[in-house]
Amino acid sequence: MFNLRNAAVSPMNQLLVTLRYYATGCSQLTSGDFAGISYTTAHRVIHRVSNAIASLRPQYVSFPESQESIRKTQLQFYNIARFPKVLGAMDCTHVRIMSPGGMEAETYRNRKGYFSLNVQAICNADLEFTDIVARWPGSTHDSTIFNNCYRHALFEDRRYGDAVLLVDGGYPSKPYLLSPLENPITEEERLYNESQIRSRNTVERLFGCWKRRFPVLSLGINVKLNNTMAIIIATVVLHNILRKAGEDLPPDDPDLMLPAPWAALLGEGDITRGRLQDGQRKDAVRRALISNYFRSLV
């Protein structure tokens, strides 16, 4: 599948060239020089392998659909901090890209001032991606991405019953989107917030693990936009494969030359954290959960 003309580069070497690019964020020219191949060959190799890996997404990135998988996911989240009915934690993070050029290039510049794709992810309690959307410009608000995605339509159609997603305050309140209270007052409200934040933290940990494992996501993907999305999805697939195989979480690499500390790079997705006032929310489900469930735990 991967062989180029005259089988000049073996499939294994093509994979290694691609993985080196993901792991270092170097240019395709540098990746080619390291492997002893030309820039044009490295370019073809990296994008061909990335597309092949990305095509495995349906096999390795799947949202809970059966009753058994839904119950299993909800139990795993419940075991974190006793928050019920959670089907996933959702958030967005920014992946650096080079300027795509053209009349709409500035739509890809986010509030931090650099070009990016705003990538939406839903994860389970095992730090695995269960849903990924990687096509929106960096200036797009998190809630806009969700409102226009396939998963939103399914939740609106009540496909998942009373299951919920945990989100931060940048999302609107819906029966299936539960965010923390801005100003908790009562004991049950504080307990709700603690449980919600601890459970939702899985998606923040996922982003940290993913970007440490594939530094190209933080350093910047220096290829054309139509090739960037396949690289993002390919790293998601590889991350899930490693998680399912029980691979340890990657530590910080002190020898990796980063433009900013890891904490700053991993927090670059947190640019749309503006909270809506509680008085503007129609949050009957959240209020009922606090009154009927978390009050009983106090």
- At 241 the pLDDT is 97
pLDDT over 70 at 253, yes or no: no
Tell me the per-residue pLDDT of 106-123, one tens digit each, with 9 for 90 and over: 999 999 999 999 999 999
Higher pLDDT, 193 or 273: 193
DSSP-derived letter for residue 223 is S
The full length of the chain comes to: 298
Confidence of residue 68 (pLDDT cuts 50, 70, 90): very high
- At 297 the pLDDT is 86
- At 3 the pLDDT is 45
Over range 182-210, report the average pLDDT. Answer: 93
Token digits of residue 225: 């936009």
Confidence of residue 29 (pLDDT cuts 50, 70, 90): low
DSSP string computed for 167-193: --TTSPPBTTEE---SS--SHHHHHHH
CA–CA dist 288, 295 (Å, integer): 10
**Start-end of H helices in the chain:** 11-24, 28-35, 39-54, 57-60, 67-81, 142-147, 150-156, 187-213, 216-219, 225-244, 262-266, 284-289, 295-297
Whole-number Cα distances in Å, 37 to 44, 116, 227, 231: 11, 29, 20, 20
pTM of the predicted model as reported, rounded to 2 decimal places: 0.86
Percent of the chain with pLDDT over 90: 62
Instruction: Give the type of residue at 279.
Output: G
Confidence of residue 274 (pLDDT cuts 50, 70, 90): very low
Token digits of residue 65: 């659909």
Cβ pair 269, 94 in contact under 8 A: yes
Identify the helix (H) or strand (E) that includes residue 86. strand 86-96
Over range 130-152, report the average pLDDT. Answer: 96
CA–CA dist 118, 139 (Å, integer): 8
